[in-house]
Chain A
Amino acid sequence: MKDNDYSEPAGYRHEIVEVDVAVLGHTNYSNRRGAWNMHRDFRDDVPDRALQGFRQSDVRGTTFYFEGLVYAAGTIPEPPEDDYNAVVWRFDQAPMGSFFSRGWVIINNRTDAPDGPRPDPHLISFADYYLGATVSAQDLTPTDMLTTTGMENGVPPHDIVVRAVAGGTGRFATAKGSVSQRRIGRNSTGLRGLALPSGVSPPSPNFRLRFELWHLA
């Protein structure tokens, strides 16, 4: 991923921050109530036909939420080139922080209008990365948070999404910029959610994030 080649404006300080993150798949919750243009086989989770029904569904209107853990960049190993879905992370090291993503699912596999279908990207979301510590009852809002907004995607491999950094706290209180997100294999937590028939729980994705930040000097 090439960094933006803007010249550094006077009065601002440039910084690159990289982290690895692992999605905790069991924290993924969806609310499909708003998505009324789904195929009935998907909507009703009909055994053996739900996945085909998903491929004929517009799931826009669905909201989602999930959490994950943050590690120093390089902690999560790269997967083999021929197996980008390899489980490369089993949570055998304590995290340095937490992150929270929430927003809307925008997968549109059918359409009644001139603008679709558009199966990718999958999500439009807000995601907050607490880099100073994990969020807990003892530390409700750890310092050094970065908040981002934009599109997200989980597949296919090597896709990179770029999102906006809207602000932050602590040492990021005057930061704005962008973040690129690249998937690096999967982890040992089971993913649940929209496109998954009942009982199916594949490994959850990991990502490497590269924040390009501009602080007030």
Chain B
Amino acid sequence: MQSKMKFGRRGVMAGVMGLLTGALAGRTAVAESSQAKAPGSQREVITIDVAVLGHTNYDNEDGASNRHPDYSGQHPDEDRFRAGFRQSDLRGSMQYHEGLIYPGGTIPDPKGKRDVNWDFEQEPIGSFFDRGWVVINNKSDAPYVPRPDPHLLSHTDYYLGGIVSAQDLTPTNMLSVVGLQHDSQQEDPRFLRAVVGGTGRFANVRGQMIQRPWGNNTSVLQGLFIPKGVKPPSPNFRIEFELWI
């Protein structure tokens, strides 16, 4: 598994160097380049940290018709709610959430999966938006399932050139990504996603990215999958883009 998740084709070392350089640089998103291999293509590794804003998470479970009643009915007893969740197929649900972007190395190294290591002490450099489908399947009537992990299949747009606002509707230098996602409960929770396009200096981009959990932040995660009254912190991630621009 681990070997599969490393960048292929053009060198693991360059990616590692990009990450290290990003961590050392602290406040600046760092690019690492090599000689162009083809017209319009130059390899570049960019490392960022992101913090999910948990209160922006919204679910629509109307399409998930195969849920246990204790879960779909939001049973007030936490144990029964959780037991119902473990007997539910959530596929058909949609989700949306937003978050903030920082230069790679801004969010401190987490001390464990549940560590809350970010309280938004620094201004972000950009915004991101994630939307898609929940793929958690804890029950099944057929072969090859259940499959409780991974959790989400989504499209994510990372605006690296500024915060999205009424004054700057579409900041330049955006990267658009597609693929499965997951949180921090796995032994090796990194996941690999495709970069499908971008804007500004990324307008001609191709590439992929690796995302790994990077602790949690102080915004409270909300969602229909959370029992009433439970207020978990939201996850952070470290992301390495491997790009050809």
Determine whether the beta carbon of B192 is less than 8 Å from that of A170.
yes
User: How far apart are the CA atoms of A63 and B64 in the complex, in Å?
Assistant: 11
Q: In the complex, which range does the number of interface residues on chain A fall in?
A: 35 or more
CB distance from B86 to the nearest CB of A (A): 14
Determine whether the beta carbon of B135 is less than 8 Å from that of A30.
no
**A167 CB contacts on chain B under 8 angstroms:** 178, 194-197, 206-208
Instruction: Return the chain B residue nearest A134 by Cβ.
Output: B144
Interface check A153, CB cutoff 8 A? no
**A interface, by DSSP: helix, strand, loop or mixed?**
strand
Interface check B186, CB cutoff 8 A? yes
**A36 CB contacts on chain B under 8 angstroms:** none
Q: Contact partner of B242 among A26, A31, A173, CB < 8 A? A: A173
Instruction: Return the chain B residue nearest A30 by Cβ.
Output: B63
Total A-B pairs, Cβ < 8 A: 152
Determine whether the beta carbon of A169 is less than 8 Å from that of B135.
no
Q: Contact partner of A174 among B60, B148, B149, B207, CB < 8 A? A: B207
Q: In the complex, which range does the number of interface residues on chain B fall in?
A: 35 or more
**B170 CB contacts on chain A under 8 angstroms:** none
Determine whether the beta carbon of A216 is less than 8 Å from that of B196.
no
Determine whether the beta carbon of B178 is less than 8 Å from that of A128.
yes
Q: Which of B130-147 contact A (CB under 8 A)?
A: 132-133, 135, 137, 140-145, 147
Q: Which of A124-156 contact B (CB under 8 A)?
A: 126, 128, 132-143, 145-147
Q: Which of A1-55 contact B (CB under 8 A)?
A: 10-12, 24, 26-27, 29-31, 33
Given contacts A65-B63, A65-B91, A100-B135, contact A147 B41 (CB under 8 A): no
**B140 CB contacts on chain A under 8 angstroms:** 26
Q: Which of B1-9, B71-79, B111-119, B232-240 contacts A (4 or more CB under 8 A)?
A: B1-9
Interface check A166, CB cutoff 8 A? yes
Q: Which of B20-28, B32-40, B161-169, B222-230 contacts A (4 or more CB under 8 A)?
A: B32-40
Q: Contact partner of B194 among A33, A134, A147, CB < 8 A? A: A147
Q: Which of B164-221 contact A (CB under 8 A)?
A: 178-180, 182, 186, 189, 191-197, 206-208
**B142 CB contacts on chain A under 8 angstroms:** 24, 26-27, 189
Determine whether the beta carbon of B178 is less than 8 Å from that of A166.
yes
**A175 CB contacts on chain B under 8 angstroms:** 206
**B60 CB contacts on chain A under 8 angstroms:** 31, 33
**A141 CB contacts on chain B under 8 angstroms:** 5, 150, 179-180, 182, 191-193
User: How far apart are the CA atoms of A79 and B183 in the complex, in Å?
Assistant: 42
**B180 CB contacts on chain A under 8 angstroms:** 100, 128, 135, 140-141
Determine whether the beta carbon of B208 is less than 8 Å from that of A169.
yes
A residues sitting closer than 8 Å to B (CB atoms) are 10-12, 24, 26-27, 29-31, 33, 63-65, 67, 69, 91, 95, 100, 102, 126, 128, 132-143, 145-147, 166-176, 189, 216-217
B residues sitting closer than 8 Å to A (CB atoms) are 1, 4-5, 7-9, 37-41, 60, 62-66, 91-92, 94, 132-133, 135, 137, 140-145, 147-150, 153, 155, 178-180, 182, 186, 189, 191-197, 206-208, 242, 244
